[in-house]
Amino acid sequence: NREQPIVIATWNVENATSKAWEVLKSGGSSLDAVEQGVMIEEADVKNQSVGKGGRPDRDGNVTLDACIMDSEGNCGAVLCIENIVHPISVARKVMEDTPHVMLAGKGAEQFAYEKGFKKENLLTEKSKQEWLEWKKTAQYKPIVNIENHDTIGMLAIDNNGNISGACTTSGMAYKIAGRVGDSPIIGAGLFVDNEVGGATATGVGEEVVRTVGSFLIVELMRQGKSPQEACEEGVRRIIKKNKNKLNFQIGFIAINKKGETGGYCIQPGFSYRTYSEAGHVNNIPESYIK
Ligand code: SD4
C-alpha cells in the first residue's frame, strides 16, 4: 500500500499540486516537482502571502524567503530577497551552484541576477493599497488563516521513492524590515530525510523556529510515530510554550517513506492537499482549538 508518487502541500493549492503531480507522473524527480509546484503560487498575484503580489513589510517592501531540500540532504535557501518572482529557484541555485546553504538580502538578489533572474516589482497595486490602509493604524497583528491561502510548503515522493521538499513565502504581512521567519530555515519551516520522511510548516514562523518544528516532526517519525501523530506532537510543543496566548495559527504537514501523510494545526481553517493515484484531495485536519 505504498503511495508513490505523491505530492502534498499546505493549504488548498490545487494548481500547485496539479503541476507537481504532472512532473511526477511524467517520471520527473521529486525535486523538480516541488520546485515547479510552488512556482505556481510564487507567480500567482492573487496569493498575497507568496512571491509576486505578496504583502510587504511595514515599509512597503516585499521581501521573500524560500528553501528547498533534496533526497540527498542537500539544501539551499534565500532570506529576505527582493525583486525576484521565484525565490525557490534561486534557493535551488544556491544549493546546486554554490558551496553555501543560505544567501540573504542584497547578496541573494545579486546572486540571482548573476544567474539570469530578472528584476521585477513584486508589489501589486492591491497589496500596496492594503498596506497604505494598514499604515493608518500600523498595528502589527498576524491574521489567522489569511484568505485560507498562505505560505506554501510542499513535499513529494517520486517514482524512485526519493523525497524532496520546498517552502516559499513573503512572510508575515507588515513585519519589521529584515525580519525572517521559519520558512527558509532548514529544520524549522522544512525538513526532509530520505530515510524517514519530510515535514513543513505554515503560520507564525517565530513559534516554529523556537521548536525547530519540521526537524522535530521528522525525528518523531524516525522514532516510530505516524506522520499524523508526529504533527500533533509538533503542535503540542508549541502550545506548551504559549499556554495563555493561543491566538495564532500554526499548521504542520508531514509524509513518511511509505507515502502516509498527516496534518495538524492550532486553529480551525487550515487544510492541505494530497495528490496521488488515490486522487486529488483537499484534507481538513483536526485542530487543537475546535
Ligand atoms: C513566516 N511561516 O514567515 C511564515 C508565514 C506563513 O502563512 O506561514 N504564513 O513566519
Which grid cell is 39?
A: 512556482
pLDDT value at residue 140? 82
What confidence tier does 149 reach under pLDDT thresholds 50, 70, 90?
low
Q: Is the ipTM reported for this complex over the cut 0.95?
A: yes
- pLDDT value of position 244: 83
**Rounded distance between C-alpha atoms, residue 285 and residue 242, angstroms:** 21
Mutate to test the pocket of ligand 1, among 78, 176, 183, 253 (most ligand atoms within 8 A of CB): 183
Answer yes or no: is pLDDT of 2 > 80: no
* Binding pocket residue ranges, ligand 1, CB within 6 Å: 49, 150-151, 169, 171-172, 181-183, 202-205
Q: What is the pLDDT of residue 8?
A: 98
**pLDDT, tens digit (0-9, with 9 covering 90-100), for 41-99:** 999 888 888 999 999 999 999 999 999 999 999 999 999 999 999 999 999 999 999 99
pLDDT tens for 247-272 read: 899 999 999 999 999 999 999 999 99
Query: Which residue is closest in CA terms to ligand 1's atom 3?
Result: 171
Q: What's the 169 CA to ligand 1 centre distance in angstroms?
A: 6
Q: What is the pTM of this model?
A: 0.96
What is the percentage of the chain residues whose pLDDT exceeds 90?
88
State pLDDT tens for residues 153-200. 999 999 999 999 999 999 999 999 999 999 999 999 999 999 999 999
Q: In which band, very low, low, confident or very high, does the pLDDT at 146 lie, cut at 50, 70 and 90?
A: low
For residues 272 and 252, the answer to whether their CB atoms sit within 8 Å is no
What gap in Å lies between CA 32 and CA 108, rounded to an integer? 21
Predicted local distance difference test score (pLDDT) of residue 3: 78
Cα dist. 227→51, 61, 257, 287 in Å? 28, 37, 10, 15
**CA 98, CA 78: separation in Å to the nearest integer?**
12
In sign, the C-alpha dihedral spanning 145, 150, 153, 159 is: positive
Mean pLDDT on 14-22? 97
Mutate to test the pocket of ligand 1, among 169, 209, 211, 272 (most ligand atoms within 8 A of CB): 169
- Please report, as a single letter, which amino acid is at residue 113: Y
pLDDT tens, 100-145? 999 999 999 999 999 999 999 999 999 999 999 999 998 887 766 6
What was the pLDDT predicted at 147?
47
Instruction: Tell me whether residue 58 is exposed, middle or buried, using C-beta atoms within 10 angstroms of its C-beta: 0 to 12, 13 to 18, 19 or more.
Output: middle
Q: What is the pLDDT of residue 138?
A: 86
The pLDDT confidence band at residue 1, using thresholds 50, 70 and 90, is very low
Which residues lie across from 253 on neighbouring strands?
200, 263
Q: What ranges in the chain are assigned the alpha helix state H?
A: 14-25, 30-43, 87-97, 105-114, 125-135, 205-211, 213-222, 227-240
pLDDT at residue 148 above 50?
no
Task: Indicate the SS3 state at residue 206.
Answer: helix
Work out the pLDDT band at 243, boundaries 50, 70, 90.
Answer: confident
